[in-house]
């Protein structure tokens, strides 16, 4: 069950493990075909049945795990891969006493082909234990193979070519598989962060929307009271007083959120927790959003404790500094393990940590151990960015491992191909330079795939063309019959195609492979090659390119998904900023309501008579509160004062910021406000000031009584 949980938490990694082992299964099938059908049994050590069975079981395990991969979890896949690799090495090690290689009593012959192919097992080793196990097992394998070869009579050209290309295949697949797994972990980490972020934002939005509704309700009541006061008559006196009382009470209730320590005290009492408060002499008073976040997180922490901690002692300790706050909620209850909380799930992470992260400078940390209680620490500091929290962030992908692996594979490629080419040059009787010329073609085409060069598309096409031309040259220049050894350049060109596939050009790589195999077939048809040798070289090349291409496609898709998540993260960040701005708007409105309407309505509620000046004042305040919703960038202090004066003298003033989301330079907004202020002072009955949408020829217009005027800048 734990495996299932892990798999659910790492879907990209699980999918990649499955793809890798599916590829391994395909490679195993190819190897089985070559071994059983066409591999040349001549000159090989006679193996006892149990060793054949052991070797076969290694391949069979990988085949079964690969075929069943879509239905297996990560742990089962890793164990299956490890089992296959272990069986393979058991067979390889036990080959020593069977062959008599160590005692010098060998009956002659060399290694069976099945033990000289390692690409699939290298991938399986990476799956089982990561890049380190992949490389280690590859090195051990090549050392044993070289040792056996030397002890059993030395290297033939075919053996050298086979081992060199098999080593290169294993190395290349190690690099690619490790890179694919690393990329998948990066994607899972990004997805986890995105999910967590979304959960936190959801909670924050919920709070903000609820807050907005409350504010709207208060606002509606206050406007009704002010309107009534502005239209006050003796007939409406009782109703006006009653409405003013109601609105004033709502403002007070809304303001209560600022008295957050009292609320904290009540919460602690409800939960049966001891409360301790320590304040420095110049203790800060937190902003409304900070206090709200602290209270929300505290309530969640106490609720969780009451519900899940069992019988225990609870404590709430608040320390208020000059510029920071620390609130610690602790219990000595049953606690929980970190693993039982999935990242990104609502609950502790979203509600407590999320509430604190939602305010700039806020952090939340939840620590708990089974049977040792839970402690929640909420911090807020004025100048902090508040980035660290309790979420055990998955370490970011380090590219160093990939770079080192790629470097090793490149060096190995140059070394092995040079070794084989030089060997081929020595063994041919004439045209000794031809293998070296072919080597030059292979190396130059490989160099064209280096990522630092410009014009990737043209370069990759040129690479494939050059590799194909090199293979053609090799096929024409190599004397018949073609052997695995003399056709060494074909698998070599296959590695170049793998590099092309890794440059995000899988179709091009497959096209190159098809052309190369077609040339090989044509050569076989025209010049009578040995089927065993031709199939071996063809299968090796096809397997390498096929696996490499499959993995490169998987990597490209993983990268694409990661990029999509990154884009989503940007959008989410924008949304978060929008939320923050909306919250500030709410705070501004609440403050305006408090400062302007509160004292006035309290007087009306207390029964103070409303004379003409009082009614004018009510008109002015009501208009000012309306401006808070529609005047937007026109809320310039001087213009607000002018509007208040105008309303007090009976002018109907409407200020409209209709520029929407369009960008208005602060200097322009200030200049427009100054222009409107002058005109507003001239108005007798009516004034409409309008900041225009961005697609209009002018920035602003006003209507002063019946005269329309335009701001020309």
Partner 1 sequence: MSSETELVAQPKRVAVVDDHELVAMAVQAIVDDTPGLVFARHETSMKSLIRPGQDADLVVLDLSLPDESTPDENVQAAVAWGASVLFLTAAENPFLVRAASQTAALGIMRKSAPREVLSAALLAAAQGECVPTTEWASALDTDPILRSAPLSAREREVLSLYALGLGAREVGEMLFVSENTVNDHLRRIRSVYHQLGRPAATKVELYRRSLEDGFLPTPRHG
Beta-strand relationship, 324-331 and 652-657:
unpaired
In angstroms, give the least distance from the CB of 165 to partner 1. Answer: 53
212 binds partner 1 (CB under 8 A): yes
605 binds partner 1 (CB under 8 A): no
677 binds partner 1 (CB under 8 A): no
Report d(CA 111, CA 151) in Å as an integer. Answer: 11
701 binds partner 1 (CB under 8 A): yes
Are 598 and 251 a contacting pair, CB within 8 Å? yes
630 binds partner 1 (CB under 8 A): yes
80 binds partner 1 (CB under 8 A): no
Quick one: which H or E segment has residue 704?
strand 700-704
**Stretches 78-86, 261-269, 494-502, 618-626: which one binds partner 1 (CB under 8 A)?**
618-626
223 binds partner 1 (CB under 8 A): yes
Q: E strands, 489-557, where?
A: none
Report d(CA 616, CA 622) in Å as an integer. Answer: 10
CB-nearer residue toward partner 1: 677 or 690: 690
In angstroms, give the least distance from the CB of 403 to partner 1. Answer: 40
**Stretches 239-247, 283-291, 334-342, 548-556: which one binds partner 1 (CB under 8 A)?**
239-247
Choose, by CB under 8 A, the member of 14, 240, 359, 443 that binds partner 1. Answer: 240
The neighbouring-strand residues paired with 277 are 318
- The interface mask with partner 1, positions 114-133, x = CB under 8 A, is --------------------
CB-nearer residue toward partner 1: 79 or 686: 686
Site residues for partner 1, 187-206, by CB under 8 A, read 205
How far is the CA of 466 from the CAs of 119, 512, 602, in angstroms?
A: 26, 10, 89
**Stretches 402-410, 435-443, 549-557, 654-662: which one binds partner 1 (CB under 8 A)?**
654-662
Choose, by CB under 8 A, the member of 426, 581, 591, 606 that binds partner 1. Answer: 581
Are 658 and 691 a contacting pair, CB within 8 Å? yes
Choose, by CB under 8 A, the member of 455, 667, 706, 712 that binds partner 1. Answer: 706
In angstroms, give the least distance from the CB of 359 to partner 1. Answer: 15
Q: Computed from CA positions of residues 305, 264, 255, 590, in that sequence, does the dihedral angle turn out positive or negative? A: negative
Report d(CA 320, CA 322) in Å as an integer. Answer: 7
**Stretches 102-110, 158-166, 476-484, 694-702: which one binds partner 1 (CB under 8 A)?**
694-702
* Token couple for 611: 């004379």
Residue 392: alpha-carbon gap to chain centroid:
15
CB-nearer residue toward partner 1: 141 or 600: 600
225 binds partner 1 (CB under 8 A): yes
Report d(CA 15, CA 10) in Å as an integer. Answer: 9
Are 74 and 6 a contacting pair, CB within 8 Å? yes
CB-nearer residue toward partner 1: 188 or 292: 292
Beta-strand relationship, 324-331 and 314-320:
antiparallel
- 601 class by beta-carbon count within 10 Å (0-12 exposed, 13-18 middle, 19+ buried): buried
Cis (ω within 30 of 0) for the bond into 481? yes
Are 142 and 163 a contacting pair, CB within 8 Å? yes
In angstroms, give the least distance from the CB of 441 to partner 1. Answer: 55
Report d(CA 71, CA 39) in Å as an integer. Answer: 33
Residues that bind partner 1 (CB under 8 A): 205, 208-209, 212-213, 215-217, 219-221, 223-225, 227-228, 230-231, 233, 235-236, 239-240, 243, 575, 577-578, 580-582, 584-586, 619, 622-623, 625-626, 628-630, 632-633, 652, 654, 656-658, 660-661, 686, 688, 690, 692-693, 695-696, 701-703, 706, 708
């Amino acid at each position: 069950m734990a495996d299932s949980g892990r798999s659910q938490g790492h879907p990209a990694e699980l999918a990649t493990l499955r793809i890798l082992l599916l590829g391994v299964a395909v490679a195993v099938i190819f190897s089985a075909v070559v071994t059983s059908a066409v591999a040349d049994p001549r000159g090989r050590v006679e193996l006892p049945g149990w060793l054949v069975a052991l070797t076969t079981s290694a391949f069979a395990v990988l085949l079964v795990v690969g075929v069943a991969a879509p239905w297996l979890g990560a742990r089962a896949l890793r164990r299956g891969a490890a089992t296959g690799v272990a069986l393979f090495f058991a067979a390889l090690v036990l080959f020593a006493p069977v062959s008599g290689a160590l005692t010098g009593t060998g009956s002659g012959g060399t290694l069976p082909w099945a033990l000289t192919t390692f690409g699939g097992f290298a991938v399986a080793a990476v799956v089982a234990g990561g890049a380190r196990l992949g490389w280690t097992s590859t090195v051990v394998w090549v050392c044993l193979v070289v040792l056996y070869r030397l002890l059993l009579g030395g290297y033939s050209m075919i053996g050298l070519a086979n081992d060199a290309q098999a080593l290169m295949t294993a190395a290349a697949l190690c690099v690619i598989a490790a890179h694919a797994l690393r990329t998948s972990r990066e994607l899972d980490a990004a997805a986890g962060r995105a999910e967590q972020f979304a959960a936190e934002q959801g909670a924050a939005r919920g709070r903000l929307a609820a807050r907005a509704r409350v504010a709207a309700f208060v606002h509606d009541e206050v406007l009704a009271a002010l309107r009534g006061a502005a239209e006050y008559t003796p007939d409406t006196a009782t109703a006006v007083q009653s409405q003013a009382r109601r609105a004033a009470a709502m403002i007070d209730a809304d303001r209560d959120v600022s008295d957050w320590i009292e609320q904290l005290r009540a919460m602690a009492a409800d939960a049966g927790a001891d409360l301790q408060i320590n304040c420095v002499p110049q203790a800060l008073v937190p902003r409304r959003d900070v206090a709200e976040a602290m209270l929300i997180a505290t309530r969640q922490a106490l609720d969780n404790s009451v519900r899940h901690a069992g019988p225990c002692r609870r404590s709430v300790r608040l320390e208020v500094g000059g510029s920071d706050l620390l609130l610690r909620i602790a219990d000595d209850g049953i606690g929980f393990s970190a693993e039982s909380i999935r990242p990104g799930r609502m609950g502790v992470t979203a509600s407590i940590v999320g509430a604190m992260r939602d305010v700039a400078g806020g952090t939340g940390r939840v620590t708990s151990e089974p049977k040792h209680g839970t402690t929640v620490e909420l911090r807020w500091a004025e100048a902090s960015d508040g980035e660290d929290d309790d979420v055990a962030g998955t370490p970011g992908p380090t590219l160093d491992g990939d770079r080192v692996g790629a470097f090793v594979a490149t060096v190995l490629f140059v070394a092995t191909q040079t070794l084989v080419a030089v060997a081929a040059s020595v063994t041919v009787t004439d045209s000794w330079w031809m293998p070296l010329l072919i080597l030059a073609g292979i190396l130059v085409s490989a160099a064209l795939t280096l990522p630092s060069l410009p014009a990737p598309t043209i370069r990759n096409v040129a690479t494939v063309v050059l590799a194909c031309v090199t293979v053609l040259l090799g096929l024409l220049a190599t004397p018949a019959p073609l052997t695995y050894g003399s056709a060494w350049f074909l698998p070599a060109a296959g590695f170049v195609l793998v590099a092309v596939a890794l440059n995000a050009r899988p179709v091009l790589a497959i096209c190159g492979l098809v052309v190369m195999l077609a040339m090989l077939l044509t050569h076989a048809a025209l010049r009578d090659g040995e089927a065993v040798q031709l199939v071996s070289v063809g299968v090796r090349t096809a397997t390498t390119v096929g696996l490499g291409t499959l993995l490169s496609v998987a990597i490209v898709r993983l990268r694409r998904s990661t990029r999509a998540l990154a884009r989503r993260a940007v959008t989410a960040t924008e949304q978060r900023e929008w939320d923050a701005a909306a919250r500030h708007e709410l705070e501004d409105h609440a403050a305006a309501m408090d400062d302007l309407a509160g004292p006035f309505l309290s007087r009306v509620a207390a029964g103070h008579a409303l004379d003409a000046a009082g009614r004018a004042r009510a008109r002015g305040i009501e208009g000012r509160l309306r401006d808070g919703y529609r005047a937007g960038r026109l809320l310039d202090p001087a213009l607000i004062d002018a509007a208040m004066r105008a309303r007090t003298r009976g002018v109907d003033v409407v200020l409209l910021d209709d520029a929407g989301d369009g960008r208005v330079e602060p200097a322009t907004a200030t200049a427009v406000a100054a222009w409107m202020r002058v005109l507003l002072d001239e108005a007798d009955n009516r004034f409409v000031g309008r900041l225009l949408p961005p697609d209009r020829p002018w920035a602003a217009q006003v209507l002063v009584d019946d005269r329309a005027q335009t701001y020309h800048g």
